[in-house]
């Protein structure tokens, strides 16, 4: 079974930073795009960022552009999200998701087909 | 106007069918996009259900029953998720999504109550 395990969430004051990690196993990590999707308390899903298989492509939702950086280490089968200048409105559960490609390849067309359990980020003064 | 609009709630009886709509903003042609559907049960992570662009370009998520299906309604510019033979376990939030303008956009979600 595909495994995605997030970590690094916690409490931070506005303006602070956090780095989320997503450790993966039981699939060929380097063959997949990866994404972060968040969900504010009681709200819907919001895509945050995605990264291509070889890191050559990265996309962000406008509200985090310039503050968040997505990265990956294919040797460690891990995905990361560096979050700087955090705002109260960034409070959410952050999910790591396999997929989110901007194009189709080998029958995979961008679906988020596996998700982690999420890690909670709370930004508050 | 949001890129994707979903009704807030939907209710149906066990054994009946449920039809979820995901309406694209009027300047975005539904036939040009793959529509992705996700289910999120209370307290759980989202689950990929299926994607649908056309009858020749569609995919069912792994282990997703065939009673879940996708289609489109060009007259309302909407993607559709159809669930037949509703079961209590189908009670959940359902989200649609598209890749639009180099971003993934989710609809606001529809809460299904099975009663």
Dump pLDDT digits (tens) for A60-110: 999 999 999 999 999 999 999 999 999 999 999 999 999 999 888 888 889
A112 and B48 within 8 Å at the Cβ level: the answer is yes
Q: Does B108 touch chain A (CB under 8 A)?
A: yes
Computed over every residue of chain A, the mean pLDDT equals 96
**A interface mutation test: which of B2, B5, B45 has the most A CBs within 10 A?**
B45
Distances (CA, A) of A28 to A78, B13, B64, B73: 11, 42, 22, 37
Q: Which residues of A touch B48 (CB under 8 A)?
A: 99, 111-114
* Res A109: pLDDT: 87
Tell me: the pLDDT tens digits for B19-59? 999 999 999 999 999 999 999 999 999 999 999 999 999 99
Of B45, B51, B106, the CB nearest to A47: B106
Cα angle B48-A38-B20, degrees, rounded to a multiple of 5: 45
Per-residue pLDDT at A89: 98
């Amino acid at each position: 079974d595909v495994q995605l395990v997030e970590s690094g969430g916690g409490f931070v004051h506005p303006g602070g930073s956090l780095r989320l990690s997503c450790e993966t196993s039981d699939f060929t990590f380097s063959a997949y795009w990866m994404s972060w999707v968040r969900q504010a308390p009681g709200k819907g899903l919001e895509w945050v960022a995605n990264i291509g298989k070889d890191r050559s492509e990265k996309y962000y939702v406008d509200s985090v552009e310039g503050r968040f950086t997505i990265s990956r280490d294919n040797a460690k089968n891990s995905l990361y999200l560096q979050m700087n200048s955090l705002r109260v409105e960034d409070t959410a559960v952050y999910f790591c998701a396999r997929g989110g490609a901007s194009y189709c390849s080998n029958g995979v067309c961008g679906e988020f087909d596996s998700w982690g359990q999420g890690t909670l980020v709370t930004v508050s003064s | 106007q949001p890129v994707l609009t979903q009704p807030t709630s939907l209710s149906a009886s066990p054994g009946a069918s449920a039809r979820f709509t995901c309406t694209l903003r009027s300047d975005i042609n539904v036939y040009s996009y793959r529509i992705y559907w996700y289910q999120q049960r209370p307290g759980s992570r989202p689950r990929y259900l299926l994607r649908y662009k056309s009858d020749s370009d569609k995919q069912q998520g792994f282990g997703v029953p065939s009673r879940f299906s996708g289609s489109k309604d060009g007259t309302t510019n909407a993607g559709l998720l159809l669930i037949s033979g509703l079961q209590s376990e189908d009670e959940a939030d359902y989200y649609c999504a598209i890749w639009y303008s180099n971003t993934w956009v989710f609809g606001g979600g529809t809460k299904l109550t099975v009663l």
